[in-house]
Amino acid sequence: MPRTRLEVLGGPNRPPLEPAASADLFALARRVAADLGLAPLAGAAVGGASDGNLTAGAGCPTLDGLGAVGGGAHADDEHVVVAELPGRARLLAGLVEAVRG
């Protein structure tokens, strides 16, 4: 349209979640999973962002993705694998205990 313009503002608003920022906490989570007889934990790098980017960027070791096992996040086929919930809960409880010492 004549005499109109578009101005785009903003940009990235979260720092990257660098693996090194939480490497020790991830190693602890892997040990807890192994001690509980759970499948080995694997790290992943994705292009998304979460509040975990902010906490890790502020210097607080952060693990993102400790929630339910599933797939299709934010899509019509989003789902949770119900059979994995007890193991995930045990992992989280074990990790909390390990951190508390």
Assess if residue 91 is contained within a domain: yes
Q: What's the chain's average pLDDT?
A: 91
Q: Six-digit token pair at 85?
A: 């919930």
Assess if residue 11 is contained within a domain: no
Distance in angstroms (rounded) separating the CA atoms of residues 1 and 5: 9
Assess if residue 13 is contained within a domain: no
Question: Which residue range(s) make up the domain with 69?
Answer: 19-38+50-100
Residue 90, pLDDT > 90, answer yes
Maximum alpha-carbon separation in the chain: 67
Distance in angstroms (rounded) separating the CA atoms of residues 39 and 94: 14
Half-sphere exposure in the Cβ direction for 36 (13 Å, CA): 22
CB atoms inside a 10 Å sphere around CB 56: 24
Q: How confident is the model at residue 24 (pLDDT cuts 50, 70, 90)?
A: very high
Instruction: Provide the number of structural domains found in the chain.
Output: 1
Assess if residue 57 is contained within a domain: yes
Assess if residue 92 is contained within a domain: yes
Assess if residue 61 is contained within a domain: yes
Assess if residue 84 is contained within a domain: yes
Assess if residue 43 is contained within a domain: no
Q: Pick the range with the lowest mean pLDDT from 4-13, 40-49, 50-59, 62-71.
A: 40-49
pTM (2 d.p.): 0.80
